[in-house]
Structure formats: structure tokens, C-alpha cells
């Protein structure tokens, strides 16, 4: 199992995983990803920017996907009812659009992705990784808290959806 940058040839498989995640979230009565986002165009943009990654097994089957960037997240400039741990002026990593293929859930692939992103940040001496999630997405909240992320406050997406913001200081 390894993590590699996504290619445009991966978009169809990535969208199967994302669409399955949309169905799963809806089945949990979570309205995250229920408005047409993320879509293939977003994934293609992530790939073109070098910000889309997949986990593949030895057969090169895509098992999971995530977006990871060092670009500042515009929606993180304003955080309500709290504060970021590291100043918005500093460089930080951001994770978005993480999803695991349904037959590979509960195998630790999300932790595997986070560990890789943490290592990339350490290698570049970047001290923070930020993420946001839906207030009802208890699965993601539980995972990131277990990985040492701290709740920082509330942000609103570009389409005005409320999200809980978390950050981990990378040491």
C-alpha cells in the first residue's frame, strides 16, 4: 500500500469513491457533500494543481483519496467562537475531500493519509495541518481528535455551510 499523486486517468475511480461517500453521509443524515460538491471538475482541478492523492494497493487499485495543499484556505481567514492554534500568517497544510472506498473502510487508510501529510509537513518544517468537517460528521471528528487535532472554532464554506474547524500542531 502506498500514497501517490492522482492523475487525470484516476478521476473516474476517485469519483466512484466520492459518490459512495456522499451516499454514506446521506445515510447518516449528514448533509455534507449533498449539493453537487465535490465533483469531477473539482477533482481535476486538484490534480492539475498537484494537490490530489490516492492510496493504492499492490494491484494499483485506488482505495482512498484526499486533497492536500499548502495553499492558504480562504474560508479559514475568519474563524468564529475560537482561534487557530497557529497564526493564519504562517504556512500550513490543509486537507479536504478525504474519502475511503467502502470495501476498504475501517482499515486505517485515513490515518495512513494523515500520517503521510504530517510527515510531508515535518519535512518542510511546516508546523500546522488544518481541516474542517460537518458538525454531524462524528466519524471524522472522532478520527482527527484521536490523531491529536484540537477543535478551534467554526468556519463557513464558500457556499455558506457551517463547518467545525480543527488543527494539529506538527512537532
Q: Listing from the earlier edge strand, what are the strands of the sheet with 128-133?
A: 2-5, 52-56, 62-69, 93-100, 128-133, 162-169, 150-156
Contact 14, 93 (CB under 8 A): no
Q: 87-139, pLDDT tens digit by residue?
A: 888 999 999 999 999 999 999 999 999 999 999 999 999 999 999 999 999 99
Predicted model pTM? 0.93
Q: What is the CATH number of the domain that holds 147?
A: 3.40.630.30
Domain count, the chain: 1
User: Where in the sequence is the domain holding 54, given as residue range(s)?
Assistant: 2-169
Amino acid at each position: 500500500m502506498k500514497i501517490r499523486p492522482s492523475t487525470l486517468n484516476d478521476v473516474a475511480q476517485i469519483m466512484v469513491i466520492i459518490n459512495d461517500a456522499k451516499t454514506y453521509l446521506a445515510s447518516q443524515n449528514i448533509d455534507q457533500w449533498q449539493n453537487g460538491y465535490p465533483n469531477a471538475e473539482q477533482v481535476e482541478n486538484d490534480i492539475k494543481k498537484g494537490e490530489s492523492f490516492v492510496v493504492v494497493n499492490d494491484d494499483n487499485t485506488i482505495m482512498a483519496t484526499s486533497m492536500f495543499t499548502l495553499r492558504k484556505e480562504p474560508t479559514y481567514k475568519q474563524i468564529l467562537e475560537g482561534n487557530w492554534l497557529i497564526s493564519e500568517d504562517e504556512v500550513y497544510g490543509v486537507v479536504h475531500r478525504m474519502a475511503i472506498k467502502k470495501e476498504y473502510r475501517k482499515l486505517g487508510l485515513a490515518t495512513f493519509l494523515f500520517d503521510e501529510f504530517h510527515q510531508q509537513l515535518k519535512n518542510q518544517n511546516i508546523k500546522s495541518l488544518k481541516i474542517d468537517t460537518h458538525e454531524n460528521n462524528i466519524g471524522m471528528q472522532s478520527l482527527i481528535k484521536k490523531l491529536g487535532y484540537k477543535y478551534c472554532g467554526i468556519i463557513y464554506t464558500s457556499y455558506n455551510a457551517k463547518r467545525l474547524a480543527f488543527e494539529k500542531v506538527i512537532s
